[in-house]
Amino acid sequence: MEISFTLEELVGISDDIKVEGHTTHPITGIASLSDAVVGDLSFLGNPKYSADVKTSKASVIFLPLNYVGKAKDGQAYLRTATPSRALAILTSNVEQKLWPEVSPGIHPSAVVHESANVDASSYVGPNCVIEEEVIIGAKTFLQSGIYIGRHVKVGKGCRLLANTTVQDYCEVGSGVILQSGCVIGSDGYGYETEHGCHMKIPQIGRVVLEDNVEIGANTTIDRARFNETRIGSGTKIDNLVQIAHNVHTGDNCLIVAQVGISGSTVLGNNVVIGGQAGLAGHLTVGDGVSIAGGSALLRNLNGGEVVRGSPAFPINDYQRMIVLQKRLPEFYKRLKTLEQIYVSPDNP
C-alpha cells in the first residue's frame, strides 16, 4: 500500500509550522537525513546531526526554529518548535491509514463465554478466548489468538495485539496497548524451601494496569502473591521486561527493554529505567529517578537521583570512577616506582 502526502498536507499537520522553500514532489517515504532521497521526508531531532541537513536529498525536512540554513532548490524546510512531535503526528496519520479500524463484532472462530459482556462497539478477532464474567469496554480491539481469563475487566479504547494473555481477575484500564505476546497476570515467582525441596507459594493476587499504559512485546507482569501488582497511569514498558509480584509503579514511568524489577519494589512517578537494568526486591524508588542502562540497583533512592553502575552509584561518582579506571595502568607504574624507592633492605 502506497501512502503519499503533498507539501500542503504536511504543513497542515500543525499550527506552528513555518514553510521555507518549495517542492512539487509527493512525499512517499520517511528516512534519516543521510539516507533520504528525493520524495522522502526527514527531520532534525538531535543537534549533533545538523551537518547532515545541508547534504540531505530529502524533499521535505522538519527543522527546529533556530536552525541556521536555507533550503536548496526543489526542497522545503518546515520549521517547528519540536520536529520530533511533528513527525510523531505525521506517523500517527500514516498508522491510521495502514491499520484502519475494523468493523465491530466477534469473529466466528472466537470463543466467548455466555456470561461475558463485550461492548457492541468492540472487535474480537480470530481464535480469541474470553472466559466467564469478563467485561470488555467500548471500542476495544482484540486482534487474534488472545486469551482473557475469568473475571477480567478491560476498559474502553484498548488495543490487545496478537497472542497476548490477560489472566484471571486482572484489570486493564482504558486506552491501554498490549503488544504481541505479552502476559499479564502470570504467577509470581515464590517458593518456600523445606528439607531441600521447593514448595510453590500460591500467588492469589492480581495485576492492575491503569489508563494509557503500554506494555511491550513478550513482557511479563506477575500477579501479586496477595493484593495486587499495579502499573501506574501513562507508564510505558518496553519489550522483554520482567516485573515481579507486588511491584507498584507510579504514573508516567518509562521502563526500557530487558529490565528486571524484583518483587515488592515500589517506583514513584516519572521514573526512567534504562535497558537491562536490574532492581532488587523490596526497594523504594522516589519520583523522577533515572537509572542508567545495565545498572544493578540494590538500595532505596530518593526523588530526583540519577544513578549508574553495578552496584548503582550517583552518576557523578560513577563518571569519576570511570575516569580513574582509565588511569589505573599509570597509577600502577607510579606505585611500583615508589615501592622501588622507599621499600628496600635499607629502608623497609
3-state secondary structure the chain: CCCCECHHHHHCCCCCCEEEECCCCCECEECCCCCCCCCEEEECCCHHHCHHHHHCCCCEEEEECCCCCCCCCCCEEEEECCHHHHHHHHHHHHHHHHCCCCCCEECCCCEECCCCEECCCCEECCCCEECCCCEECCCCEECCCCEECCCCEECCCCEECCCCEECCCCEECCCCEECCCCEEEECCCCEEEECCEEEECCCCCEEEECCCCEECCCCEEECCCCCEEEECCCCEECCCCEECCCCECCCCCEECCCCEECCCCEECCCCEECCCCEECCCCEECCCCEECCCCEECCCECCCCEEECCCCEEHHHHHHHHHHHHCHHHHHHHHHHHHHHHCECCEC
Does one domain contain both 94 and 110? no
- Separation of alpha carbons 68 and 305, rounded Å: 36
Q: What is the pLDDT of residue 24?
A: 94
Q: Tell me, what CATH number does 48's domain have?
A: 3.40.1390.10
Residue range of the domain that includes 137? 105-263
Does one domain contain both 90 and 110? no
Instruction: Give the residue from 36, 71, 98 where a domain finishes.
Output: 98
Does one domain contain both 131 and 161? yes
Q: What is the pLDDT of residue 342?
A: 77
Does one domain contain both 89 and 115? no
Does residue 301 fall inside a structural domain? no
Does one domain contain both 137 and 250? yes
How would you write the pLDDT of the chain (348 residues) with one tens digit per residue?
A: 688 999 999 999 988 999 999 999 999 999 999 999 999 999 999 999 999 999 999 999 999 999 999 999 999 999 999 999 999 999 998 988 888 778 999 999 999 999 999 999 999 999 999 999 999 999 999 999 999 999 999 999 999 999 999 999 999 999 999 999 999 999 999 999 999 999 999 999 999 999 999 999 999 999 999 999 999 999 999 999 999 999 999 999 999 999 999 999 999 999 999 999 999 999 999 999 999 999 999 999 999 999 999 999 999 999 888 888 888 888 888 888 888 887 665 555
Active-site option among 107, 113, 195, 245: 245
Instruction: Give the residue from 65, 98, 131 where a domain finishes.
Output: 98
Q: Catalytic residue at 245?
A: yes
Q: What is the pLDDT of residue 341?
A: 81
- Separation of alpha carbons 341 and 134, rounded Å: 80
- Give the pTM: 0.86
Q: Strand order in 111-112's β-sheet?
A: 111-112, 129-130, 147-148, 165-166, 183-186, 220-222, 242-243, 260-261, 278-279, 296-297
Does residue 219 fall inside a structural domain? yes
Does residue 223 fall inside a structural domain? yes
- Separation of alpha carbons 175 and 233, rounded Å: 10
Does one domain contain both 130 and 196? yes
Q: Which three cell numbers stand for residue 191?
A: 517458593
Q: What is the pLDDT of residue 96?
A: 84
Q: Residue 282 is which amino acid? A: H
Does one domain contain both 165 and 226? yes
Instruction: Give the residue from 79, 98, 117 where a domain finishes.
Output: 98
Does one domain contain both 13 and 116? no
Number of structural domains (the chain) is: 2
Does residue 279 fall inside a structural domain? no
Selection from 263, 111, 244, 139 nearest residue 183 by Cα: 244
Report CA 121 to chain centroid distance, whole Å.
Answer: 28
94 close to 10: Cβ distance less than 8 angstroms: no
Does one domain contain both 240 and 119? yes
Q: Tell me, what CATH number does 118's domain have?
A: 2.160.10.10
Does one domain contain both 109 and 159? yes
Does residue 179 fall inside a structural domain? yes
Does one domain contain both 87 and 122? no
Does residue 56 fall inside a structural domain? yes
Does one domain contain both 130 and 247? yes
